[in-house]
């Protein structure tokens, strides 16, 4: 019994010492954020130990950051390639694109609209116009509705890869504004309906990408 009582103060002292060492070595590089009630006891214990919270220092600083503008550069020209197939949808998408172009600084005389038979034909015309060097950006507009055949998958794949290739091969932003929906109702929702107008969104993307590429080219950080 005597030996047990003699060891109690030693254990208490060693426990206190461990807490002191823990407090002296524990440094947080960011504030401790918790959202669960079962962590409250831990936070209170750390406060009792007088733990110092230090703000994180940002060690990664970039030399330059670039962003595109939502206002087009003066006199910049854009092309819109539109599929005739499903014209009930594509005409609405075109109207949305033209409205956004004009509201973001593009004069209507600087917008060329070209009609092609269907979405499958969009990439070849878009790429040819992008290669001309006359346009800051090209928007491809189409509507592919699934229906009951597997033809849908082939057209979507060709249009998607073709538009992407037109952009990467020329260095000119060629924007994918083609709807790919399961039915007509979904397409109408995206043509000025409850989901907005995807043609307008494509036009805004074209303006932003065109101004970004222009900035990079002027500073020699992108190829002409």
Helix-helix angle 87-103:198-218, to 10 degrees? 50
Are 110 and 154 a contacting pair, CB within 8 Å?
no
Which has the closest alpha carbon to 89: 166, 45, 143?
143
Cα separation of 222 and 208, whole Å?
16
Cα 130 from chain centroid (whole Å): 23
Torsion, Cα of 29, 35, 39, 44 (10° steps)? 70
Q: Is 115 exposed, middle or buried (0-12, 13-18, 19+ CB in 10 A)?
A: middle
Cα separation of 130 and 111, whole Å?
13
Catalytic sites, residue numbers: 151
201: its two tokens: 């969104």
Q: How far is CA 2 from CA 7, 13, 219, in A?
A: 9, 18, 84
Cα separation of 87 and 154, whole Å?
20
């Amino acid at each position: 019994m005597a030996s047990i009582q003699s060891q109690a103060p030693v254990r208490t002292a060693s426990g206190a010492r461990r807490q002191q060492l823990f407090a002296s070595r524990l440094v947080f590089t960011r504030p401790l954020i918790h959202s669960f009630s079962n962590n409250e006891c831990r936070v209170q214990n750390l406060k009792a130990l007088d733990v110092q919270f230090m703000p994180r220092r940002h060690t990664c600083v970039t030399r330059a950051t670039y962003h595109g503008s939502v206002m087009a550069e003066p006199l910049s020209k854009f092309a819109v390639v539109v599929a005739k197939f499903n014209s009930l949808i594509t005409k609405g998408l075109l109207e949305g694109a033209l409205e956004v172009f004009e509201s973001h600084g593009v004069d209507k005389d600087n917008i060329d609209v070209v009609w092609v038979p269907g979405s499958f034909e969009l990439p070849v015309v878009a790429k040819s116009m992008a290669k001309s060097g006359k346009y800051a950006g090209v928007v491809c507009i189409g509507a592919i509705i699934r229906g009951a055949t597997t033809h849908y998958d082939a057209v979507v794949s060709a249009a998607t890869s073709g538009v992407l290739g037109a952009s990467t091969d020329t260095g000119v932003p060629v924007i994918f504004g083609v709807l790919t929906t399961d039915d007509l109702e979904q397409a109408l929702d995206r043509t000025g309906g409850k989901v907005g107008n995807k043609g307008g969104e494509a036009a805004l993307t074209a303006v932003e990408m065109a101004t970004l590429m222009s900035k990079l080219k002027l500073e020699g950080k992108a190829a002409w």
